[in-house]
Amino acid sequence: MTNRILFILMMVAGLTAPLYAYPVFVMDLLCFALFACAFNLLLGYAGLLSFGHAAFFGGAAYITGYVTKEWGFTPLLGILAGAGFATVIGAAFGFLAIRRQGIYFAMVTLALAQIIYFLALQMPFTGGENGLQGIPRGHLFGVIDLTDSLAMYYFVFAIFLIGFGLIYRTINSPFGEVLQAIRENESRALSLGYDVDRFKLLAFVISATLAGLAGATKAIIFQFAALTNAHWQTSGEVILMTLVGGLGTIFGPVLGAITVGALSHELSAFGSWVQVILGTIFVICVMVFRRGVVGEIQHYLARKKH
């Protein structure tokens, strides 16, 4: 029941957001919300902590930018190309990383992500520290002009809903149940006959693909693929968003992304102190809301029923 109410609120807020907020800013929040949901699928439901998800987010942005700018791909095909790239490197990274567990898994993902960051910095087509600029928005289906902010907003909102729906379906499927069993007790899941490594690899690839979808969409929105999108700090930010909203909850990452993104925007006048302030907020949230904001609300409602 709670999830149904939250979904209705999310739909109403998403459909009406351009009426009271700057559309480009909201689109940025939607991209990070999808990114956080993708990360939450891996950590919150499979129990795998990745420090390298920025590789998929940023790598997809560069691929989308290149194929739309240089090869003349439509924005939709460009986004799909970026997500496809994230799928491929997600499969490669996942194949290597799932051979380790715990902090070793996290360190492997961080090391692999740094390779993508180095390539983004050194490859001739990426623009180096200046990023890949001049990415065209183009037309959707050859008809809808995406240079119009309102048309672009609802296109992005549709992509977010598709990604969110895929995550929701994955979580509430037999596959999702197995992932949660692996998170709770991997040895028991293995003893029941499940191919644990295969399930973890699939979860990693799905998460990487959706993270890439978010990054590719962001590149079209801002017509720019930035080096910071592939930086390890972006991986840290998505962890922060997920934990603040509620790890292992469906809507927690969405709220966390909106909260962290809005705070970063509002506190931008403080310069480098923004990270200190966000770090302080993070510590307070961990101390006060151990399950995240949405997690605590759901826990309170569950206790109230009993």
* pLDDT by 10-residue block (mean), the chain, 306 residues: 79 88 91 95 91 93 93 92 96 91 89 93 86 87 86 94 94 92 87 89 96 95 90 88 87 89 78 76 76 74 69
Q: Are 90 and 84 in contact (CB under 8 A)?
A: no
Strands, E, within 168-228: which ranges? Answer: 224-225
Task: Classify each residue of 178-188 as buried b or exposed e, where b means 16 or more C-beta atoms within 10 Å of its C-beta.
Answer: bbebbbeebee
Tell me, what's the pLDDT at 93? 94
Cα dist from 194 to 178, 190, 197, 260, whole Å? 8, 5, 9, 37
Please state, as a whole number, how many other Cβ atoms lie within 10 Å of the Cβ of residue 158. Answer: 12
Start-to-end CA span in the chain (Å): 15
Q: Are 212 and 86 in contact (CB under 8 A)?
A: yes
Residue identified by tokens 């129990």 is 47
pTM higher than 0.85 for the full model? yes
Residue 286 tokens, joined: 């961990």
Tell me, what's the pLDDT at 83? 96
* pLDDT tens digits along 89-145: 999 999 999 888 888 899 999 999 999 999 999 888 888 888 888 889 888 888 888
The two beta strands, 224-225 and 132-133, are antiparallel
Tell me, what's the pLDDT at 233? 86
